[in-house]
Copies of this chain bind each other. A is one copy, B any other.
Amino acid sequence: MQQDKDTALDLQQIRQEIDQVDEHIQQLLNQRAKLAETVAKAKFANETNPIFYRPEREAQVLRKVMERNTGPLSNETVARLFREIMSACLALEAPQSIAFLGPVGTFTQAAAIKHFGQDAITKPIASIDEVFREVESGSAHYGVVPVENSSEGIVNHTLDCFKASHLHVIGEVELPIHHQFLISSNTRKDSIKQIYAHQQTLAQCRHWLDAHYPGVERVALSSNAEAARRIKNEWHSAAIASDVAAQIYELEILHANIEDNPENTTRFLVIGREKAAKSGHDKTSLLISAHDKAGALLEILAPFAKHNITLTSIETRPALPEKWAYVFFIDLKGHVEDDNVKHALDEIRPHVKELRVLGSYPIAVL
């Protein structure tokens, strides 16, 4: 009893301390918001069309937060809290509207909220083309589209949109991606004969499948959603798809998170009408239309190596309507204002039909 009382007293005292800390945090939050308002006023006084969201500045703030963090809150947690604080301050200056590839509740919305915080106004848009159009027309400040979610086959579509658009890439977002082993209410668990999923997903779960369902036929379909839909009325099959798909098609998750590599992520691009300035840790996305000749790719790649530039991704797409000519999408580490990147691009330009910088932007912080 005595002990209980002591604890109660202790608790009360600690809570009073927490209240004092809270009051102090609140003062500082409002002080920060006031400073942000001052920034907004200075911008309005000097620019006719001021831009309020500065991706490079935000990335710098978040990196600083993570560098100086001493815990106990983790770097990720404290950076996420600062994302929300910046989002709240930005909304006070000028609320930002973000078009994303819908529907509501998809990973793309999660990516938009992760990047812009909860105070941004997110608008679900039915197709990737329309997300581009929303941003081009000014109906939305920024757009968020998936780019490396190859299991659903939408990478290419996003890249194709850049061919016809002059929007800039101003940021990237990474989200962890998990695969679920799904069965329907009809499935006989003991006699699963087929496992459906997109080719890429089957590959990403290969070791797990080898261990748990050796010898069971794996059937590659056009998407994981299609796999989920198909097993709905089947007895001897299972699908691999996301928990969103499990919910939509009312399937049971028999085994959760079966991907071989738990570090699996999906990547999204943030698009806008203005370029992002240098943040210090940047990536650049390029679109290069090559001549149709032997060694074309080599001529493109050599200057990057020479100038010590790391490429993080290369995608090849046919440059319709011309047959047999190709467009390369290249991501590299560095900003287009870095000297080595500038020099490399200058050397490549004479050898290609077109070289377009889609954007330089901060490497995903979180």
A interface, CB within 8 angstroms of B = 3-4, 7, 10-11, 14-15, 17-19, 21-26, 28-39, 42-43, 45-46, 57, 61, 64-65, 68-73, 77-78, 80-82, 84-85, 88-89, 91-92, 102-106, 109, 118-119, 124, 126, 243-244, 246-248, 250
Contact = CB atoms under 8 A, between A and B. Distances in A.
Counted per complex, copies of this chain come to 2
A19 B46 CA distance: 23
Nearest to A32: B21
Nearest to A248: B103
B84 A81 contact: yes
Given A36-B18, A124-B243, A126-B247, A7 B103 contact: no
Contact of A106 (B61, B85, B105): B105
For the residues of A in contact with B, the DSSP-based class is helix
B243 A119 contact: no
Contacts of A25: 25, 28-29, 32, 82, 85
Nearest to A126: B250
A81 to B, nearest CB: 6
A26 B118 CA distance: 20
A53 to B, nearest CB: 14
Contact of A247 (B19, B33, B104): B104
B244 A42 contact: no
6 contacts: A17-B35, A22-B32, A22-B61, A26-B82, A80-B88, A105-B106
Contacts of A109: 105
A303 to B, nearest CB: 34
A203 B200 CA distance: 48
A78 B18 contact: no
Contacts of A24: 28
Given A21-B31, A61-B22, A68-B23, A103 B105 contact: yes
A102 B286 CA distance: 40
A29 to B, nearest CB: 6
Nearest to A16: B35
B30 A73 contact: yes
A64 to B, nearest CB: 7
B105 A30 contact: no
A14 B34 contact: no
A73 B92 contact: yes
A32 B72 CA distance: 9
A148 to B, nearest CB: 21
A34 B243 contact: no
A364 B303 CA distance: 61
B119 A77 contact: yes
Contacts of A244: 103-105
Contacts of A34: 72
